[in-house]
Copies of this chain bind each other. A is one copy, B any other.
Amino acid sequence: MLSKKTQYAFHALVHLAENVDKGPILISEIAQEKNISIKFLENILLELKNAGILGSKKGKGGGYYLMRPPKEIALAKIIRLLDGPIALLPCVSLNYYERCENCRDEAVCGLNEVMGKVRDSALKILENKTLKDILTRG
């Protein structure tokens, strides 16, 4: 499961994407709209900003905004940033690989092989779907 942090990030990003035309959006507005603790959200948005995904403006008329169009922000990027590995096992993670401590040889480990396939099938979606794809429909 994704952490609350990542779940909140997605909802916040959706709100920002749905209001791109309105200039910077207040943290407090997002918090209220999406039912998220404002202080917790503050940290999350800051992390997204430090990763170059969001920009911000201080003072009156300030707030947060997307640095790129929604269709250029892949879901996988957000998950990896806030939650870490997408793979189910460290030994099949592309970005957070760790050697398996419990098997002799990963090259012939069937678990490794199957979990690699699960990772691929998840990535096929998460690398290609973007913020644009998760906006409210209808």
Chain B residue numbers with a CB within 8 Å of A129 are 114
A108-B138, A113-B137 are contacts. A89–B125 as well, Cβ < 8 Å?
A: no
A35 near B: Cβ within 8 Å? yes
Q: CB-nearest residue of chain B relative to A101? A: B35
1/0 per residue A37-50: CB within 8 Å of B?
00000000000000
Q: Report how many copies the assembly holds.
A: 2
Chain B residue numbers with a CB within 8 Å of A88 are 1-2
Chain B residue numbers with a CB within 8 Å of A14 are 110-111
Q: CB-nearest residue of chain B relative to A136? A: B108
Cα A1 to Cα B118 with chains together (Å): 12
Cα A84 to Cα B25 with chains together (Å): 37
Chain B residue numbers with a CB within 8 Å of A85 are 1
- Asked whether B108 lies within 8 Å of A118 as measured between CB atoms, the reply is no
Chain B residue numbers with a CB within 8 Å of A1 are 84-85, 87-90
Tell me the A residues contacting B by CB distance below 8 Å. Answer: 1-2, 7-8, 10-11, 14, 34-36, 75, 84-85, 87-90, 101-103, 108-111, 113-114, 117-118, 121-122, 124-126, 129, 133-138
Query: What are 14 pairs between A and B in contact, CB < 8 Å?
Result: A1-B85, A2-B89, A11-B102, A11-B111, A34-B103, A35-B101, A36-B102, A75-B114, A109-B137, A114-B125, A114-B133, A114-B134, A121-B122, A121-B125
